[in-house]
Structure 1
């Protein structure tokens, strides 16, 4: 009976108004789709609101700016981690991962994508140990590549978990580091490989990272981002043919994908430094090292040197370029305002704005606080 009434009503509408309501089903379907998207977005916003207070809570309000680094109070443990794997439904991991970190005072940035996880975080030793154990309890993340170091101060302001297309962005489809990467070379064997005249050594990091340190004889592709690396390879492929190709980066993730890309082009003898520069600096004694300068790191320490000791480099707070001690002697350097890399690119208005921010940073430091904009 209800079907009949419905049919009669529809026929009546069609007769009276000259159209059939069925004609509007596609439009209604579109409305339903939009409604579904809105509900999903509302759910995402709810998740974000639950996490946001922790994400934006200044680290200095939880931990003091300076720390006693005696054995009884060893500061913070920093973990640089990654793993290439097939991470199904990685979007669903974001909220519980952020909540896990926030509940333990862990801060930093973690990236999630279908190809795996990547990032650097810091916290108390027990908290970091719990996080690594929690991640490795997932079958896909067992065997996580982790490099540890120590920071006297919390090197991050907040905790961020981001969803990405790639955990390290190259922009080339079909590259699978899990099965196609180059051969690992242990830090203890790295010197012999790069000293071989048949080896071309390539620094896969960005130009601003290379500017404060690299390996002896390494080629600097002078890339602004990792996306530019495939183009550099294409224009220099003739220099790579028939030679051993050795690549390195900070922690191993970029050169792992870079070697997979180069091998996909048909080159055979492709190698990369296992654990990256960080593992090399940790394990190879300074007197035997072929590393020159400091290694840039993406946190408030700015750089590390042999033994993973915090380096002498500082960050220009105007352009975020790392600065050596010599560069800070330049007349174009003004703390928080400009440096030799950006001075000529800024207007007077820019410098005035940066100077005001620097004034606020210094005022916060006098009160024992950390200014988020520093």
Structure 2
């Protein structure tokens, strides 16, 4: 059969379905086989309670995928939202950030992370707000001022619009009706919404609440959470199919103004007469394009910066601060840098000019006569450092000495030993001539995670010969011991804390990532503002959804060129995907299993740390 030109066009398909999945791995195998055979890219998330899918490909392939999925009774009644669009350029930053250059299929605990902390009572999806079609939603808004007078059954007189999306999404498009109050929670991420609902429940009580989001999935959990509050919160409704279905029904925009932010390479989608609702963060002129991916220096949330301001501010090396960080007082001036971005010597008042080596020349610093002429941080950041497998605090301190020296004006590194003491093991040489070193000349080695059959070597200092060659993939089998390590950290932090951040190297990074995943639950016991993960990988985090770890993070690892022989770059990239992309920073280098203490990598590390000074 001949393929038409229209069928060869590119498209994006979005759908979700809440249903009990009897066999997660079987469904995973189906998606893996089906999507690869159809050359689809994007994200597939499978949980015990359903699926959430955003994929792109040829329209003919997407239609075939819909047919294949629809043949499974689990997906009966699924709303498949298919839209034609231009094919993404795999070389663009937008396509790479949105995951539209590869296919990612994962089994997760939640389809969308509704809360970053444990709720007293998790909402039941069966109690979600009633679905309103686009035309029904439009009709309610159109007649919002008449409910009290006409006595319509089931609707209170007061109608409220509730936007369940993130702040950067609402800045470029939202529903507007002068007869209806619109509540914008102004949240950084969806997991902040429950707290906002708790704090503002008085505004919702007794009202007809109309909720909306991009495609509908975020309203499912959020509407259920509102209804779980009981009497006065019964009248909660949600826009079926989200803004996307509404704009299809009302191509002129209807009550929606601006553009609909989408999480794929299209960035945003507007109506036939979409107005520009957003404004530039700096000059306040109309602007609504997130394609440049400008982000807040402090929290990494997307911000709108027009092209003219980008060019102008780039020349001044200006940083961006979002509205939320300004409200919370994070718009503090950052530490000015000298030369190549590194302060090489202590600055004292009234000294003679001193020679300082920069990246390509030697300069003389002028004499300083006033303290105001240079701004030093009021205090250094305290960073707790977690070593790698078969290391200890002393050896890790030595390995990072150069980095610590170059960051001494920013941060203080504190090193600790892991709790699991390892046996002394050596690999015999081929000639069998070399004897192991005497144990009394060696420091003990430790680990954060160990093999399931691990036996502690508390006081045994005898050397044992390895029964097999060292396995570079041994870290994949070291999955036990987290509870002991967590208790160890709690105790040490109680004695030596507080700390601004955690830095983990290799297995220490895996431990740091696991702690980050529990950040909300550990509040008050292990508090920190950021993490630095070097040559990291994930252990026991298979139930974490993409971007679900809500913690500012810096990821440093060897690129493919670097050929890290201990931890493959793919493992580190997989770990990155678990962190909120809005606050994750990546540094890839070419030097293998190390933390490179040189430019340009050092400058990027400093840029990250300066956000927390």
Q: Which of 207, 214, 228 is residue 264 of structure 1 equivalent to?
A: 228
* Residue matched to 1:49: none
Residue 105 of structure 2 is aligned to residue 126 of structure 1: no
Please give the per-residue CA displacement for 1:192-220, whole angstroms capped at 9, x wherever unaligned. 32352511111001111111111115211
1:295 and 1:347, CA in 2 relative to 1: closer, same or farther beyond 3 A?
A: farther
* Residue matched to 1:185: 132
* Residue matched to 1:200: 160
TM-score scaled by structure 2?
A: 0.41
Counterpart contact for 1:209–1:322, Cα < 8 Å: no
1:338 and 1:256, CA in 2 relative to 1: closer, same or farther beyond 3 A?
A: farther
1:338 and 1:299, CA in 2 relative to 1: closer, same or farther beyond 3 A?
A: farther
1:265 and 1:314, CA in 2 relative to 1: closer, same or farther beyond 3 A?
A: same
Counterpart contact for 2:7–2:60, Cα < 8 Å: no
Give the Cα separation in 1 of the matches to 2:60 and 2:259.
Answer: 29
Displaced runs of 4+ in structure 1, greater than 4 A? Answer: 70-74, 320-324, 331-335, 337-350
| Count of residue pairs the alignment pairs up | 277
TM-superposed deviation, 1:143: 1.9
Please give the per-residue CA displacement for 1:82-114, whole angstroms capped at 9, x wherever unaligned. 001111221332233123211211111011101
Q: Which runs of 5 or more residues in structure 1 are unaligned?
A: 1-69, 351-372
Structure with larger RCO (C-alpha < 8 A, sep 6+): 1
TM-superposed deviation, 1:329: 3.4
Q: Which has the larger radius of gyration?
A: 2
Counterpart contact for 1:74–1:152, Cα < 8 Å: no
* Residue matched to 1:328: 307
Structure 1 counterpart SS, 2:160: strand
Please give the per-residue CA displacement for 1:168-226, whole angstroms capped at 9, x wherever unaligned. 1113554232x211111121232332352511111001111111111115211011121
Structure 2 counterpart SS, 1:317: coil
Q: Which of 101, 118, 121 is residue 157 of structure 1 equivalent to?
A: 101
Counterpart contact for 1:204–1:247, Cα < 8 Å: yes
Q: Which runs of 5 or more residues in structure 2 are unaligned?
A: 89-94, 146-157, 277-287, 323-330, 342-586, 588-613
Structure 1 counterpart SS, 2:110: coil
1:308 and 1:205, CA in 2 relative to 1: closer, same or farther beyond 3 A?
A: farther
* Residue matched to 1:229: 193
Residue 259 of structure 2 is aligned to residue 315 of structure 1: no
Give the Cα separation in 2 of the matches to 1:160 and 1:134.
Answer: 19
Aligned-residue CA RMSD (Å): 3.2
Give the Cα separation in 1 of the matches to 2:268 and 2:318.
Answer: 19
* Residue matched to 1:176: 124
* Residue matched to 1:281: 247
Which has more helix, going by share of residues? 1
TM-superposed deviation, 1:127: 1.1
1:183 and 1:103, CA in 2 relative to 1: closer, same or farther beyond 3 A?
A: same
Give the Cα separation in 1 of the matches to 2:334 and 2:35.
Answer: 39
Counterpart contact for 1:278–1:308, Cα < 8 Å: no
Structure 1 counterpart SS, 2:182: coil
Counterpart contact for 2:15–2:52, Cα < 8 Å: yes
* Residue matched to 1:242: 206
* Residue matched to 2:262: 297
Give the Cα separation in 1 of the matches to 2:292 and 2:222.
Answer: 29
